[in-house]
Chains A and B, each alone.
Chain A
């Protein structure tokens, strides 16, 4: 079965540079989530998109922005990179089965992008 695809898998940047991470959700999934996992930490929610519109926002710095495109892929843009941005960035996707009022959205995760800021 097709899974969530993330690119690149590894990225090395210098401080104050920019980075763009890409996510291709599972086909027919309508929602994309971005998470950040620091060393030894649990994944932290950044932002989500449903049907190409921002759905929810977590602890995402103002230096970061994201969008979901017409083909449902999503990009996370990170500017003025700092050393503390070094982390694993996961994308997850889900599909609302149409059960209004019921929370049964299982999120499926991609392999992640390891960002290292030097």
Chain B
């Protein structure tokens, strides 16, 4: 049961254009969403996050949009650069009842391979 879905395994865009990566989720308890970038044989690198109380968060070239009613979020990269080529993971977390302290395990999507062509 995949609670976080990234339906596009890959995406190819031209340098300078916008990259839009999409993510859908099914668990209505998720209240914090993150995007990670990952190169082969390296750990995921945190890019940007958004809390469920917001619908948009922006950091430089990266903007994340959250549509709670549609249970959908997207990551926009503008302008795209060849160095952005990597696998992008969408992740979500929900509070665990009765858990101790910081107990927000992440549930990941299967990732989207972004290729930015020069």
Contact = CB atoms under 8 A, between A and B. Distances in A.
Interface residues of B, number: 30
A105 B89 contact: no
Interface in A60-118: 88, 90, 92, 94-96, 102-112, 114
Interface residues of A, number: 36
Contacts of A4: 43
B36 A31 contact: no
B103 A50 contact: yes
Minimum-distance CB pairs A-B, first 7: A50-B101, A31-B102, A109-B43, A42-B108, A45-B105, A103-B32, A55-B103
Nearest to B98: A56
Contacts of A50: 100-103
Given A42-B108, A42-B109, A43-B108, A96 B42 contact: no
A11 interface: no
A33 interface: yes
Of B31, B32, B43, chain A has the most CB atoms within 10 Å of the CB of B43
Interface stretch (B45-53, B67-75, B78-86): B45-53
Contacts of A51: 100-101
Contacts of B42: 111-112
Contacts of B18: none
B51 A107 contact: no
Of B45, B49, B95, B104, chain A has the most CB atoms within 10 Å of the CB of B104
B102 A94 contact: yes
A33 B105 CA distance: 7
